[in-house]
Structure 1
Amino acid sequence: MNTRLFSMIAALGIAGFAALPASAEAIKVRLAKQFGIGYLPLTLIEEQGLLQKHAAAAGLEVEAEWLRFTGGSGMNEALLSGNLDLAAGGTPPMLTIWARTQNNLRVKGVAALASMPLHLITTDPEIKELSDFDRSDKIALPAVKTSIQAITLQMAAEKYLGEGRHADLDAFTVSMGHPDAQLALLGGQSEINAHFGSPPFQNLEMKDERAHKVVDSYDVLGGPHTFTVVWSRAEFVEENPEFMKVFMAALDESIAFIQANPEEAARIWSEAESSPMTQEEVVALITDEQTRWTTTPERLLPYVNYMARVGLIQQDTSDWRDLFFDTVSGAEGS
């Protein structure tokens, strides 16, 4: 081999070596979700390995730990203590920690997951409207005074019972995870005679001939509203910009998959959650005309404005973009 040819091959070899990607950077992230079909996008991300897929495409390595909570307050405590990176739940717990931390940790929303109606269900034939509840009744919901169900119940009380009566039903509420609340409501062996739940639990409850709906959150809010949302600390978001791009890409893919393949999404979710519902019932939930799978928030301002007005939080805003990082703040929200 002549010297000139050897030099050319060597140069190509060096150039080829230089073009190889650097070794993947390992990122450990802890994510949390709760129970229900409202977390379907996150279930697909976990079950389909979408974080790892998009991380690999970006030259990253992600180690994801998925945690399960029954309410938003526990997730907020974990987030504040540094034991959780991404929380997912109803909107009021996110708004609560947003208001508490704007002068320090600056917790904000990362993206919405879904808009869904929430129903207050009872098996008591004497209860037709909110004014029929009394101290002998017990309403199960994920977290007293802090969950989206608890705040929506307060807003409903103010709307249907009158101004200044928003807290009238608080004394009747009991903190309980949705699976346990469903069992308590339908089992007949508990003091629980109402459940402010979410899909699919409210749908399963309505299959019981004793059950009927008292409140619909879409009626209270005046239309579709975000039910589930993801939030995080500014420190984590700002220190991990490449991972946040990976997470959003995975979330966008999961939502696109739901919209294009509701039957397969239903099968994956049912197996992951060991759901007692039939395939047809889960598909019906996913494709319900009142359900919207979107990362763009809807009707968050009625919640934050109400919570600020009655003193539940000390911050308020007239712009939903103040509540979110730039992961979605460029979208047309409400």
Structure 2
Amino acid sequence: MKHIPAGTGAPGKLKQAGREEALTGPNFRRARRRALLLAALVCLWGGSAANAQGVSVRIARQFGISYMPLTIMEQKHLLEQQGKALGLEIKTEWVQFTSGTPMNEALISGNLDFASGGVGPLLSIWGKTRENLGVKAVAALNSMPLYLNTINPAVKTIQDFTDNDRIGLPAVRVSIQAITLQMAAEQAFGPGQGGKLDPLTVSLGHPDAMAQMMSGRSEISAHFGSAPFMYQELEDKRVHKVLDSYQVLGGPHTFNVVWATSRFHDRNRKVLAAFVAALDQAMKEIAADPAAAAALWVKAEHSKLSAAEIEKMIRLPENEWTLVPKKILAYADYMSRAGMIPTKPSSWQDVFFEEAHKLPGS
């Protein structure tokens, strides 16, 4: 520190001179350089810390082998891997629901980022949120048939059901099974008769619906299910198939899709890209090695079925895990006519985010 002898000038002038020297001297220039360097480092460290922050993603799926790509994604941490390739540190939280309706409620309330389920629940929430949350599909999960099975020998077609029968399905009136049944009823009973069998339907998760029907002691005499449950039921000689959704739709159709809000989509483009890449990777693994995919699914779901039984289902030509949407508009057309959605989409792309638009969908 520089020493100033006593009595060499007025105190005010000395202080002013000291300030001028501090602001113009070499010490000031060195301090300024240090401050600029420190500021640059703070910005650099701050940016690195922000980039390294984890992105938490909440994903929901339901029961059955149709959701196998999501099970593989969870078990093999494929989303986390794809996220790292895009510079993201993704942390996932997986939950399981029995139907699409409570899943939609969780999505709307902000407690879920990705929902998955049938085309019916997707179109329902798409129609309800067009003017606000803007929920749309991220990708299709599969193309798979749905069987309506019964333990009642008197029921050969849906026209044979009586008031003594009860049909178990995931959600009355809104699940994809319920809507497919309505479409079949309209075909069988005539225009405006889509809801004719609705009073016979009961909301039940697939495991419960199967268990109650197979017990023979429940009011549930039929189950409009999905794989693997519908295949398991048909192994019992008491059970026969009444209806196949491929017959109703005139060919293969999308069973399950994944959807999200526009807000999440717009704010998390990289997360969406990583999700679709992980989904595609999982589907390719199922196609390349059905045995390994089956073994992983059986272990993850604690299934009583053997890996060989699941592998057999995977290899059935009617089952396909694909990102390509199929016959979305067929469901939308009926739901619009039935007043279940406020407007009919002009194309399947209206219901999907733009990243899927290049696919050969329908």
- The question of a shared fold, defined as TM-score above 0.5 by the shorter chain, is answered with yes
Residue of 207, 212, 230 corresponding to 1:179 = 207
Counterparts of 2:83 and 2:191, CA distance in 1: 51
| Amino acid aligned to 1:32 | A
Counterparts of 1:29 and 1:61, CA distance in 2: 11
The root-mean-square deviation of aligned C-alpha atoms, in Å, is: 1.2
Aligned pairs, how many? Answer: 315
What residue is the counterpart of 1:302 in the other structure? 330
What residue is the counterpart of 1:99 in the other structure? 127
Deviation at 1:241, TM superposition (A): 0.7
What residue is the counterpart of 2:118 in the other structure? 90
Residue of 185, 194, 198 corresponding to 1:166 = 194
Unaligned runs of 5+ in 2: 1-43
What residue is the counterpart of 1:268 in the other structure? 296
| Amino acid aligned to 1:177 | G
Deviation at 1:260, TM superposition (A): 0.5
What residue is the counterpart of 2:162 in the other structure? 134
What residue is the counterpart of 1:150 in the other structure? 178
| Amino acid aligned to 1:181 | A
Counterparts of 2:62 and 2:129, CA distance in 1: 23
Deviation at 1:164, TM superposition (A): 1.9
| Amino acid aligned to 2:67 | Y
Residue of 228, 236, 242 corresponding to 1:200 = 228
SS in 2 for 1:263: helix
Counterparts of 1:290 and 1:174, CA distance in 2: 27
| Amino acid aligned to 1:169 | L
Deviation at 1:280, TM superposition (A): 2.1
Counterparts of 1:142 and 1:123, CA distance in 2: 18
Counterparts of 1:136 and 1:124, CA distance in 2: 10
Residue of 213, 217, 220 corresponding to 2:248 = 220
Deviation at 1:278, TM superposition (A): 2.2
Counterparts of 1:35 and 1:315, CA distance in 2: 30
SS in 1 for 2:58: strand
TM-score (norm 1): 0.92
C-alpha distance after superposition, 1:90-138 (max 9, x if no partner): 1110000001111111000000000100000000001111111111110
| Amino acid aligned to 1:92 | G
1:118 correspondence with 2:146: yes
Deviation at 1:327, TM superposition (A): 2.4
SS in 2 for 1:226: coil
What residue is the counterpart of 1:282 in the other structure? 310
Counterparts of 1:292 and 1:315, CA distance in 2: 30
- Of Structure 1 and Structure 2, the greater helix share is in 2
State the identity %. 50
Residues 106, 234 of structure 1: 8 Å contact kept: yes
SS in 2 for 1:84: coil
| Amino acid aligned to 2:64 | G
Query: Which of 1 and 2 has greater Rg?
Result: 2
What residue is the counterpart of 2:238 in the other structure? 210
C-alpha distance after superposition, 1:146-204 (max 9, x if no partner): 00000000000011222221111000000000001110010122110000000000000
Counterparts of 2:295 and 2:146, CA distance in 1: 23
Residue of 99, 108, 123 corresponding to 1:71 = 99
